[in-house]
Amino acid sequence: MSSTRNEPYTDRFDAAGVTSDGAAWLASAGAYPRSTLALWAERPEAPVVLPCGHAFDIVSAPAVFGRRMVDQLWEEGPGTGPVAVLRGRLLMFAAPGTAQRLPSLLRWEEWGVQGHEERRSRTGDIPPLLCHGNGDAVTLPPPLAGDAPADRPEPRWLVAPDTRHPWLPGPEILLWAAVRAARAAVRISIFPPAEHSAKVYDVSRRR
């Protein structure tokens, strides 16, 4: 899509890949999507607070563990929906209803196996995941990245919104990713750390 004066967005805001369709989908989560789009038209570097529960839920994990979950989803699973980085945590966009269901699935995994050691091997290394759903709101990165000081990194997109109807993982898929990430963390802890370069996720693989 070409950019004109009447179009507040170019086809992609920045290297993260936010598109005009992705921005429209994000804005649709709020009660006043036109106001959100108008704000971004004037200040595309402005973060925004949007409610969960309608267009998406959010599952928040510590940054390192969240990256392991995302890597599992892209390397061995169906991929992810949008993923943001904010204040040392990864925000994974999930299907509405996930915030209500995922905690009970995690509890079931913990108590649904026999023996303390086996139980710990399945869920004991999963850090607390914060689930934001109906009634919650989250701060999200802006469509256009600004120039933040190195010691104060701003919110950013790891996997940016790029469509009006993104595929979003549900609670079962995120549970699978969390368990696999926990197992990977145990394996990594007994071997020397490997060099990790920046990864680029192929969004065409998303369902």
Per-residue pLDDT tens digits of the chain, which is 207 residues long: 333 333 433 333 334 568 999 999 999 999 999 999 999 889 888 888 999 999 999 999 999 999 999 999 999 999 999 999 999 999 999 999 999 999 999 988 775 444 444 444 455 678 999 999 999 999 999 887 655 544 556 688 999 999 999 999 999 999 999 999 998 866 544 445 555 555 666 666 665
Give how far the C-alpha of residue 4 lies from the chain's centroid of Cα atoms, to the nearest Å: 31
d(CA 104, CA 109): 9
If you search the block for the tokens 């898929």, which residue do you land on? 173
Cβ-based neighbour number of residue 193 at 10 Å: 7
Quote the tokens at residue 124.
Answer: 């004991």
pTM equals: 0.79
Kind and range of the H or E element at 204?
none
Q: Are 23 and 9 in contact (CB under 8 A)?
A: yes
Name the DSSP class of 114: S
